[in-house]
Amino acid sequence: MDFIEGGELFRHLVKVRRFPENQARFMIAQVAISLGHLHDQQIVYRDLKPENVLFNKDGYLLLADFGLATKVDKNKLAMSFCGTAEYLSPEMIEGSGHDHTVDWWTLGILLYEMLVGIPPFFHKNKHKMYFLIKEANVTYPVPEKHNIYVSPEAQSLINGLLAKKKDYRLGKNGIKEILSHEFFKDLNIDDLMAKKIEPEYKPEIKEGELKFFNQRLVQTD
């Protein structure tokens, strides 16, 4: 496997706390395209989170860790319970069966966290958090109070991705349904795919540096 020097998106998000909307748009589109490609192969990823998105040195992203991915045939449902607590979908918690739309739910959670700095239903009490995931509406910071602004376009996309019922979730009919959303209107997807867009955010990497990775001292004889 290639060595991805930039490390996890998680570490960069901790560093900057929140990404500006134009940077988040550039990154979330890449994640969406990656998930869409997997879905074309009848693969459901099921473990999207900042720790599983890696920064290449060119500023573009890669999806990693397919340990929870599974093949789900069209019009079929997977029944296993898996994923990261803050990113679980209502149907995953309820055990009612999930399909590729579970990945679009996690995409909405990721975009919210990138823009706001915390997942939308986060609570220290896991049972309370599961209740919020199943029952609560998504709320957004008040700009005047929190100094965080989430545009109407971003809110619309997030709300569509975080529809409680998977049959009403944005992306049910495929990746094009998501990329055609007004949130991406100023992003040229063809240029993005061809890596013709210069990323506004790049990890600062010095040769031989491993600061974006957990390191363990290994003693050798």
Annotated catalytic sites, by residue?
Answer: 47
Backbone φ and ψ for 27, nearest 5 degrees, come out as -80, -45
DSSP 104-140: HHHHHHHHHHHHHSS-TT--SSHHHHHHHHHHPPP--
| Residue 95 near residue 130 (C-beta atoms within 8 A) | no
H/E run at residue 44: strand 43-44
Dist CA 181 CA 6 (whole Å):
29
| Residue 34 near residue 11 (C-beta atoms within 8 A) | no
Q: Among all chains, which residue has been given the structure tokens 């998105």?
A: 53
